[in-house]
Amino acid sequence: MTTKVTHASKTGVKRILMSQTNEKVGPLKKITLSWEAGSGPDGIDLTSGSGLFEFIYNLGPRGLSPFEYELAGKAVGDSISIRIKNGQVAEILEHLEALLPDLPRESASLHLRFKVLKITPADPGEVIKAMAETASCKDHCCGH
C-alpha cells in the first residue's frame, strides 16, 4: 500500500512524500490469493482461469499447514508454485482444503500456482469466526 502525505512548506509549495508499506503474509492477516491448477509445471490445463482464495493465516488446529509455510513472508505480487501428488491435497492444504472446492483432485499430480493479491489485518470478528469453524473440524475438515 502506498500512502501519500502532503506537506505545505513556508513558501506554499506542496511536497508529496511517498511511504511504502509492504505488508507481509503473517499471523492473523487476511490473505487473498489467485490460484490456477495444471497437470504439469508449464501449463494451466486443469482450470479455466484464475480462481480466488481467501483465508486468515495461521489459524490451523495444528499450527501452520505446509501450504502456509510456503506463503510465510510473501508480499502482494509474490507467487508460489506447489506440486501435490495424488492423494496429498489434504496433507498439504490441511484445514484450507475445504476453501478450494473447485480444486481438481483426479490428476496424478497437481501443479498449483498461487499469487498474493491482497494482505490486510483480519477483523477480530473474522478471526473468532474462523477459529470456531476450524475448532469444529477437529481432526478433519468438513467444509463447514
- Quick one: cell of 84? 501435490
94: left (phi over 0), alpha (psi -120 to 50) or beta: left
Q: Are strands 14-20 and 2-8 parallel, antiparallel or unpaired?
A: antiparallel
Tens of each residue's pLDDT in the chain, 144 residues: 444 444 444 544 544 443 345 799 999 999 999 999 988 888 888 888 888 999 999 998 888 999 999 999 999 999 999 999 888 888 999 989 888 888 877 777 889 999 999 999 999 999 998 888 877 655 554 444
Report yes or no: 130 and 99 within 8 Å, Cβ to Cβ: no
Model pTM score = 0.76
Residue ranges per structural domain of the chain: 23-137
Q: Is 23-137 a CATH 3.10.50.40 domain?
A: yes
